[in-house]
Amino acid sequence: RLKPFNRLQVILQHLKMSKHTDSTAEVLLEKRGGAGIITLNRPKALNALNLSMIQQIYPQIKTWEKDPETFLILIKGTGGKAFCAGGDIRAITDAGKTGDRLAQDFFREEYMLNHAIGTCKKPYVALIDGITMGGGVGLSVHGHFRVATEKTLFAMPETAIGLFPDVGGGYFLPRLSGKIGYYLALTGFRLKGRDVLKAGIATHFVESEKLPALEKDLIALKSPSTENIADLLNSYHAKSKIDQEKEFVLDEHMEKINSLFSANSMEEIVRKLKQDGSPFAIKQLETINKMSPTSLKMTLRQLREGASMSLQDVLTMEYRLSQACMRGHDFYEGVRAVLIDKDQSPRWKPAALEEVSDEFVNDCFKPLGNNDLKL
């Protein structure tokens, strides 16, 4: 039994924790008005998502979903630079090398969180202000509302590190208009500001400096419906004039993107790009040549199959792919070249698309029996 004083200390400690005002916590979870608010709080790491953050966010979303007093869930990042720059790749790399369980657990629990967001019964609003890549896309894109700002920088750059655009990329990317999703997935092309809206990734565009006011207004809504929340977001969106006149960055290339990236195989995409020979096509070739050939083949098939799958089935497929990457060579080499040594010259194995066999790719998609992701 605790002595009374100790018990008081424990209670005070608990109160401090349950308020989540602890600014050192990696994720802050609080209830304000009718809104459950998730704040990613690793500004120095650009709010990169690690396993302990996932393990705090998931049960909280499930709790708020059941709570009759919670009408919406809002997610944002601190520090002004990033919403969330991705998953904690370094930790996963170290774990994968030593055969640590984290390499299984991280992806499993991250994809469970992506699924919880995609199926959430409460309106879910993501303020994607700043860098939003990889794991940060998974925390936002499956929710009802995604609010971009002039500071938003969106990308799925995984093929450059021997991975694939996961976190449900196989679901949302092929559903973007034309072949934009295939283009973004294979080249890692970065979209900025209003272009994130024009590509169909964000649902609204609001000036960055207006977000605190928007948040306040969202919290002040009394038992709002999804329509009420949409109306409020629409009114802010309508008032945002930044870059309103600018045309979509990919507009002039859309015809080419739609024809060049509609091929059935990576080899054919490369052939079409070479045949086209325009400055745009040559630039894409240069980019694709730097990527992991294994990742490119995996990604093209992931998107082609994901186009007609449910989010649940896509995440199950992606979990299989994640574990194939953990077993392989290119992911560790890509992380070394891009994030650790930063020499930007990965030595991929195999080094050419032609050397990545269909059998190898098929293997990556095979069920994992008892280790499959259960959603």
Q: What is the pLDDT of residues 159-201, one digit of tens each?
A: 999 999 999 999 999 999 999 999 999 999 999 999 999 999 9
87 is catalytic: yes
Omega of the bond leading into 350 within 30 degrees of 0 (cis): yes
Q: Walk across the sheet containing 153-155 and list its strands.
A: 82-84, 131-133, 153-155, 191-192
Q: Walk across the sheet containing 72-77 and list its strands.
A: 27-32, 35-40, 72-77, 124-128, 145-148, 204-205
Structure tokens at 359: 């059998």
135 is catalytic: yes
- The structure's pTM equals 0.93
Q: Which of 86, 87, 96, 118 is catalytic?
A: 87
36 is catalytic: no
Residues 211-230 have pLDDT tens digits of 999 999 999 999 999 999 99
Residues 256-303 have pLDDT tens digits of 999 999 999 999 999 999 999 999 999 999 999 999 999 999 999 999
Q: Which of 88, 129, 158, 330 is catalytic?
A: 158
Q: Which pLDDT band holds residue 24 (cuts at 50, 70, 90)?
A: confident
- 269 contacts 289 by C-beta, under 8 angstroms: no
109 is catalytic: no
Q: Which of 34, 86, 96, 135 is catalytic?
A: 135
CATH of domain 25-371: 3.90.226.10
**Dmax (CA) of the chain:** 80
Determine the Cα–Cα distance for residues 105 and 222; give it in Å rounded to an integer.
38
Residues 304-363 have pLDDT tens digits of 999 999 999 999 999 999 999 999 999 999 999 999 999 999 999 999 999 999 999 999
Check residue 16 and give its pLDDT: 53
- 83 contacts 128 by C-beta, under 8 angstroms: yes
Residue 9 has pLDDT above 80, yes or no: no
Three-state SS string across the chain, please? Answer: CCCHHHHHHHHHHHHHHHHCCCCCCCEEEEEECCEEEEEECCHHHCCCECHHHHHHHHHHHHHHHHCCCCCEEEEEECCCCEEECCECHHHHHHHHHHCCCHHHHHHHHHHHHHHHHHCCCCCEEEEECCEEECHHHHCCCCCCEEEECCCCEEECCHHHHCCCCCCCHHHHHHHCCCCHHHHHHHHCCCEECHHHHHCCCCCEECCHHHHHHHHHHHHHCCCCCHHHHHHHHHHHHHHCCCCCCCCCCCHHHHHHHHHHCCCCCHHHHHHHHHHHCCHHHHHHHHHHHHCCHHHHHHHHHHHHHHCCCCHHHHHHHHHHHHHHHHHCCHHHHHHHHHHHCCCCCCCCCCCCHHHCCHHHHHHHCCCCHHHCCCC
